Amino acid sequence: MKVNDIVILVGGRGSRINKFTKKTPKPLIKIGYRPFLDQLICKLIKYNFKKIYLLCSYKKNIFFNKYHRKKIHNSEIVCVDEGSQKDTGGALYRLRNKIKDNFILMNGDTYFDIDLNDILSIDINKSIGIVALTFSKNLTNNNKINNIELNNKNEVKFTKNKSKLSNGGIYFFKKEIFRYIKNRKQSLENEILFNLINKKKIKGIVFDQKLIDIGSYKKLNLLKKQNKILKNKAFFLDRDGVINKDNGYVLKFSHFKFLPGVREAIYLLNKKKFIVIILTNQAAIGKGLITEKELKKIHYKMAYKIKKYKNAEINDIFYAPYYKKSKIIKYRKNLKDRKPNIGMFDKAINKWNIDPKESYFIGDKNTDKKASYKASVKFYYKKNISLYKQVKDILK
């Protein structure tokens, strides 16, 4: 099930951590060197949402100045002013004419590192929404929608018994949810979902991951000390000689020949929650043998062929088109991107919030190895075996 929109609630005041939120909205508190919300978005862009809506209220101008209409990867961020604070339910009223189909909703001050595709795999039938659930022992701070369990149809229901499950704060909703949202202060959890659960209109899916709410000093300080858990891990791949046979410059897709085990390897990396990124020197552009437009067409067809295998996905591609003797001036510049320099690594690490020490790179040249070491990423030469087997061996 394809979902084009995700909504992040960022309007709260964060009164429990007032020392920080007097000047900085809670989602923008820095964890490490980056605002929490930035790092949350870096987790979301791999899903290729068309729109990421930020529902703003408290210190809304900061969000508008920093994010509104900003394009990140394949997603556009749109800030929406909810007006006076209307709680988690009433805030959604402002989106009733903007969202045209199903959408994901999440809080901008909690971290719950689940695979959103798992939510979308649930058969929703006549239900209106799906809620991601976690075990109570995995909660750090959340007391909304407790004493619940799932029946044999995965429908959420309340129970008088002590429950092991609690709300994880991530939801899938049909557009039909807007029928229940009013232009007033309204709690999503305690009013809207409470009523829909009693009508058997909400399904649930349980995850083992821990939910962290940054709304208390204790949990915020804990996350600041363990900020690496917000980072992505990446598996970098060179292109020629790793993805395809290296028979010289590939100037059209008919010259592109996949090496064994490529699609299977990328699918495995997706399942292991790696961001899969290709880093490739493409001096053929600087030499005038191929244009950037033509290269992008080759990469589009390459990615399409890979995706046909169990929806395997290359998350990003960085290329260095530079050649120091190029007749085109712009291709004589930015040589820092060209391996063995680490410009492409730096761009990828910043864009995707990657932890280099938890990442890997497979290449086939000494320039790949040098760049990898400079970027503090573990390097492996491509072996004369299938890429799937090599990746599987590395991850053992």
Q: Which residues contact 99 (CB under 8 A, 6 or more apart)?
A: 5, 7, 53, 175, 178
CA angle 323/327/332 to nearest 5° reads 35
Ramachandran sector of residue 390 (left: φ over 0; alpha: ψ -120 to 50; beta: rest): alpha
Catalogue the active-site residues: 238, 240
Which residue reads 């995700």 in tokens?
6
Evaluate whether 307 touches 276 at the Cβ level (below 8 Å). no
Nearest 10 degrees: Cα torsion 363, 366, 371, 377? 50
H or E, element range at 185: none
| Count of residues making up the chain | 396
- Owner of token pair 């290296």: 246
CA angle (317 as vertex; 315, 318 as ends), nearest 5: 140
| Bridge partners (DSSP) listed for residue 203 | 130, 155
> From CA 240, how far away is CA 153, in angstroms rounded?
49
